[in-house]
A and B are shown apart, each in its own frame.
Chain A
Amino acid sequence: MKTIITVVALGLLSSVAAAGVAAAATPAEIAAGEKLATTTDQGNCDACHMFKGADEAGNIGPELKDVKSMVPNRKEFYAIIYDEEARNPQTIMPAFGKNQVLTPKQINEVIDFMYTK
């Protein structure tokens, strides 16, 4: 069931990405991203990264502040979450996309949320 939805999401997203659509994130997408970023068995971003509104955040990764200037390029941001190890072999950041911890849709929601930080 989850797989089917994932596959559909993949199909949808790739068509959106191909069309180069960069519509502003909706409040619902941002809220979904926040939930993913702070949920332990999903994004769990605050286990390692401090960001405003995070409860008991870790400090293994860099603090996520003014994220738009940290990673202005959304594609690059996506690549970091998808598989940072491909860019930096020394990183200990999990490959959330490659290892299917998060779906492409979910990664985009996390990005939408992080761009508000």
Chain B
Amino acid sequence: MRLAFIALALTVSAPLAQAASQPDPAADMKAFQGYFLKQFPKLPLAAYVNGPYNFSKSESDQWKQIMEFPPYQFAVDDGKKLFETKFPDGKTYASCFPNGGIGIAQNYPMFDAKTGKVVTLGIAINRCRVANGQKKLKLTVGPLADISAYMTSTSDGKPINVVIPHNPKALAAYEAGKEYFYTRRGQLNFSCASCHVQAAGMHLRGDVLSPALGLTAAFPLYRSSWGDMGTLVRRFIGCNQKVKSEPSKPDSTAYRDLAYFMTYMDNGLPESGPGARP
């Protein structure tokens, strides 16, 4: 099978090389979603936002019980209060976002043509703070995770809609995120794809490895193993550490681009954050 593929690749290598030099995010997304739909034919696209619970009855049963009193509810409530609290200049977070910040989380990460960089929801929250004379918050945990949780809760069920504009820098950021996702790193030599594509749905010790598809949709989330809320970037750091690689900085270009690529792959899936995971 692999031999056949290599033979095929050889015969069409010229057009392939041409295609590789021109990023085509829409085609990538179609292939990415198609790969999982073929891999798990019984699982509808929208179900991927439930990650590991599609693969383990015991975890899924536990989850249903937990969701009677969602562990992230405190974060949503606290986040709402913070979101509505006025800065010393009298403005609120609502002043920094389209539609007052309500129902817009599904559009992040966003490409900012002004800086030529990807802006995640967390980074946008910090930008808003700086614009109003406030200090940046930690991008991984705490109040920023709570504010994100509240903002994301107002987008519940809306289709994820990350846009990659026809801008060379936006395409380059997307490509860099894609390369990061598939590149093996760390002393254990794993890529994101090693676990979340190749071994998706399998057990790493007692834990189910979530498929990469839908993975971003439930963030920020309450993880029982954390004991509190965390953002997607907190998970990136944890994954890097698990493969014995030094994590990047939370606001690094590497993590922004990775979030851009991964969330773009989830386009069309329903926003389902904040979530809860084992």
Contacts and interface: CB of A to CB of B under 8 A. Distances in A.
B172 to A, nearest CB: 28
B36 interface: no
Contacts, number: 39
A65 B205 CA distance: 17
Q: Which of B194, B202, B204, B209 has the most CB of A within 10 A?
A: B204
B206 A92 contact: no
A43 B262 CA distance: 30
Interface in A39-66: 46-48, 56-60
Given A92-B194, A92-B198, A58 B203 contact: yes
A101 interface: yes
Q: Would you call the interface of chain B mostly helix, strand, loop, or mixed?
A: loop
A101 B188 contact: yes
B190 interface: yes
Q: Which of A48, A56, A94 has the most CB of B within 10 A?
A: A94
Contact of A99 (B188, B195, B198, B204): B188
A56 B189 CA distance: 23
Interface in A83-115: 85, 90, 92, 94-95, 99-101
Interface string B41-63: 00000000000000000000000
A94 B204 contact: no
B76 to A, nearest CB: 32
Nearest to B209: A60
A59 B55 CA distance: 13
B187 interface: yes
A101 B242 CA distance: 13
Given A48-B204, A56-B205, A94 B189 contact: yes
Given A60-B199, A92-B198, A99 B189 contact: yes
A46 to B, nearest CB: 7
Instruction: In the A-B complex, list the 3 residue pairs whose CB atoms are closest, starting with the nearest.
Output: A56-B206, A94-B188, A92-B194
14 contacts: A47-B204, A48-B204, A56-B205, A57-B203, A58-B203, A58-B205, A60-B209, A94-B188, A94-B189, A94-B190, A99-B187, A99-B189, A100-B187, A101-B187
